[in-house]
């Protein structure tokens, strides 16, 4: 005799069987997951040590920045501004003919002179021209020529980006060697035979400090035509290595 089973009843049986199978598999899956979580990374069980090393050098400053300025007074603001603009544009055009020197305009200010009651008695204006170059001789000669129109008010020396990057590249090898030496010595001091790098951080900004010098070449006619004596100082460049190592 054939037994008839209702489809819903059959589906319920299948569903129950699947649920029972899944329930039976859950402990195994949970155990496997727990085993994976509990299995520690061998590297994470090793002791770590944080340390740093650096390499520093003094480099001759190879870039000069010369500031020339012109300051005038007048009773009319518009005429004063026009006169100041003419001097600046003429000097800038002359400076840009020298391919060895970069020329650009600097600060530009026009302000009122007042009496004790706050009334305007006149106007004063000041314009700046900036010269930058790695050719000290060319910059010196040009500044002397331009000082007939604008006085040299400041000179600053610094390390160029190209020279700094080249020195940092050289120092990187020294800093890396110093770091490796310190890590090896530290590992041996604590009874280990060696180390493995976990993390490294590099910094190479260094200490590049311009050396400003004030000049007043407009004091005499001789100063206006003489070349500007230029001699830069030195800048410190440093590359630092900081990191964490595994002791092994």
Do the beta carbons of residue 232 and residue 157 sit within 8 Å? yes
Kindly state whether residues 227 and 192 are assigned to the same domain. Answer: no
Kindly state whether residues 126 and 218 are assigned to the same domain. Answer: yes
Kindly state whether residues 219 and 155 are assigned to the same domain. Answer: yes
What pLDDT, on the 0 to 100 scale, is given for residue 127?
97
Question: Cα torsion at 142, 145, 149, 150 (round to 10°)?
Answer: 40
Query: What is this structure's pTM?
Result: 0.67
Please calculate the CA angle 151-154-155 and round it to the nearest 5 degrees: 120
Kindly state whether residues 201 and 213 are assigned to the same domain. Answer: no
Kindly state whether residues 126 and 83 are assigned to the same domain. Answer: yes
In this predicted model, what pLDDT tens digit does every residue of 166-184 receive, in sequence order?
999 999 999 999 999 999 9
More confident residue, 206 or 190: 190
**First-to-final CA distance of the chain:** 77
Quote the percentage of the chain above a pLDDT of 90: 68
Kindly state whether residues 96 and 186 are assigned to the same domain. Answer: no
The total number of structural domains in the chain stands at: 2
Kindly state whether residues 134 and 177 are assigned to the same domain. Answer: no
What pLDDT, on the 0 to 100 scale, is given for residue 231?
81
Burial class (CB in 10 A: 0-12, 13-18, 19+), 161: exposed
More confident residue, 62 or 214: 62
What's the rounded mean pLDDT across residues 119-140?
A: 96
Which residue shows structure tokens 């496997």?
32
Going by the DSSP 8-state scheme, the letter that residue 207 receives in this structure is B
Least confident span in 103-107, 146-150, 223-227: 223-227
In this predicted model, what pLDDT tens digit does every residue of 11-38 receive, in sequence order?
444 444 444 444 454 444 344 444 444 4
User: The tokens of 94 are what?
Assistant: 């002359």
What gap in Å lies between CA 205 and CA 210, rounded to an integer? 14
Average pLDDT in the chain: 82
* Structural domain of 181: 44-58+164-205+242-247
Kindly state whether residues 155 and 224 are assigned to the same domain. Answer: yes
Question: Cα torsion at 143, 144, 147, 149 (round to 10°)?
Answer: -100
């Amino acid at each position: 005799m054939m037994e008839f089973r209702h489809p819903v009843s059959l589906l319920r049986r299948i569903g129950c069987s699947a649920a029972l199978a899944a329930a039976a598999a859950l402990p195994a899956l949970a155990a496997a997951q727990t085993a994976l979580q509990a299995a520690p990374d061998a590297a994470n069980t090793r002791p770590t040590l944080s340390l740093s090393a650096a390499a520093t050098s003094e480099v001759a400053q190879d870039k000069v920045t010369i500031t020339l300025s012109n300051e005038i007074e007048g009773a009319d603001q518009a005429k004063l501004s026009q006169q100041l603009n003419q001097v600046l544009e003429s000097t800038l055009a002359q400076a840009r003919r020298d391919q060895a020197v970069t020329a650009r305009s600097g600060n530009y200010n026009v302000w009122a002179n007042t009496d004790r009651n706050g009334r305007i008695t006149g106007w004063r204006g000041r314009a700046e021209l900036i010269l930058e170059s790695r050719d000290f001789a060319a910059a010196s000669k040009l500044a002397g020529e331009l000082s007939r129109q604008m006085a040299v008010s400041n000179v600053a020396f610094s390390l160029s980006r190209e020279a700094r990057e080249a020195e940092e590249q050289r120092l990187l090898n020294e800093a890396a060697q110093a770091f490796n030496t310190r890590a090896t010595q530290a590992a041996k001091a604590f009874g280990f035979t060696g180390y493995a790098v976990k993390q490294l951080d590099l910094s190479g900004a260094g200490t590049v400090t311009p050396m400003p010098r004030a000049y007043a070449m407009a004091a005499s006619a001789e100063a206006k035509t003489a070349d500007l004596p230029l001699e830069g100082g030195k800048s410190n460049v440093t590359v630092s290595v900081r990191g964490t190592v595994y002791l092994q």
